[in-house]
Amino acid sequence: MPISSHEFELVGRLRESIEGVIIGKSNAVRLLVAALLARGHVLIEDSPGLGKTALARSLARLIDCPFRRIQFTPDLLPSDITGMTIFDQASQEFLFKPGPVFSSIVLADEINRSTPRIQSALLEAMNERQVSYDGKTHPLPEPFMVIATQNPTEFIGTYPLPESQLDRFLMRLKLGFPNSQEEYNILLSRRHGDPVESLKPVIGMSEVVHLIGLTPDIRIEDSVTRYIVELAQRSRSYASVSTGVSPRGTLHLAASAQGLAFVEGRDYVVPDDVKTVAPFVLAHRIVVRNDGHPGGTAGLEIINQLLRKVPAP
């Protein structure tokens, strides 16, 4: 189904509206929108105070959808995320009470301050878009996106995310510190309050679902598909790598490239789309021996080496 100019305009409007309040982070914004279109989840790892929460809130407000924030702490329980069964006095029956994960945009704030057992409560929701409880399956809404934030692993009181959890994230992003002009503009924008609070929807939920449905129609030529496969295959051939890019990672790379092409106003993927998203999609899936934990800096170095070595079509 051809994508119309109006549909490209909707995506552009969403991107520009987020960039209006998240100053100096245009690359992170376009990748976030690409992940939304690709039905993916995003992990943002960076120091506190750099706008991770504001980015998630901005997206939720601009697409006019339910937003819930889950503050991850060591004493959090899985039922605090997914929900629980309660006894209803009126009906004399046990009823399932949905947890905060039953929202369109879920902010999993400081996800690595909880133990891996608690983190794993999100696995089914992120992968299957459903929650199983007491033998019953409860579907999650559309759209559904988890935006998780985590502090760098050297911070006190953090737990590394297990490989299975990291692999569920389409992308891992970093925001970084602003330069002097950007920080000056941030100060000016907040003289009259938080600009996120004044955001109005620029696109409806039904339109978002429609755009997400169009993203798989973004064309990927066979030569680009083979390029994606070659990057994944070679990531498994390094002697220093104990776990390379999984087939899920290959699928995520293709979907992310389609999402980015949509954001850039094209109905086809070019090799540069793949190159742009590859470090954010693949690096956290690589486990390097003696690197400390999955998703370390050595994984990013390997992906950057592959992008230099593997010829692009």
| 178 backbone dihedrals φ, ψ, rounded to 5° | -75, 155
Residue 129 has which token pair?
């878009």
Token pair 């039905």 in the structure block, residue? 39
Tell me the one-letter amino acid at 217: D
Backbone φ, ψ for residue 240 (5° rounding) = -80, -10
pLDDT digits (tens, 9 = 90+) for 151-207: 765 556 667 777 778 888 999 998 888 889 988 888 888 888 788 888 899 999 999
Chain centroid, CA 32 distance in Å: 7
Is the Cβ–Cβ distance between 190 and 239 less than 8 Å? no
CB 31 within 8 A of CB 280: yes
List the chain domain ranges.
1-217, 218-313
**Residue-averaged pLDDT of the chain:** 87
- Return the structure tokens found at 96: 């399932």
Q: Which 3 state secondary structure label does DSSP give 116?
A: helix
Which listed CATH number (1.10.8.60, 3.40.50.1580, 1.20.140.10, 1.10.8.80) goes with 218-313? 1.10.8.80
CATH architecture type of domain 1-217: 3-Layer(aba) Sandwich (3.40)
DSSP code of residue 88:
E
Q: What is the mean pLDDT of residues 124-150?
A: 88
Most confident of 41-55, 65-79, 206-220: 206-220
> Quick check: 169 and 256 in contact, CB under 8 A?
no
Task: For the chain, list the strands marked E by DSSP.
Answer: 42-45, 67-71, 83-88, 93-98, 105-109, 130-133, 136-139, 145-150, 171-173, 241-243, 287-288
Pairing of strands 145-150, 42-45: parallel
Among 3-12, 112-121, 195-204, the range with the most confident prediction by mean pLDDT is 3-12
Range from 58-72, 129-143, 281-295 carrying the lowest mean pLDDT:
281-295
Provide the whole-model pTM.
Answer: 0.90
- Helices H / strands E in the chain, number of each: 13, 11
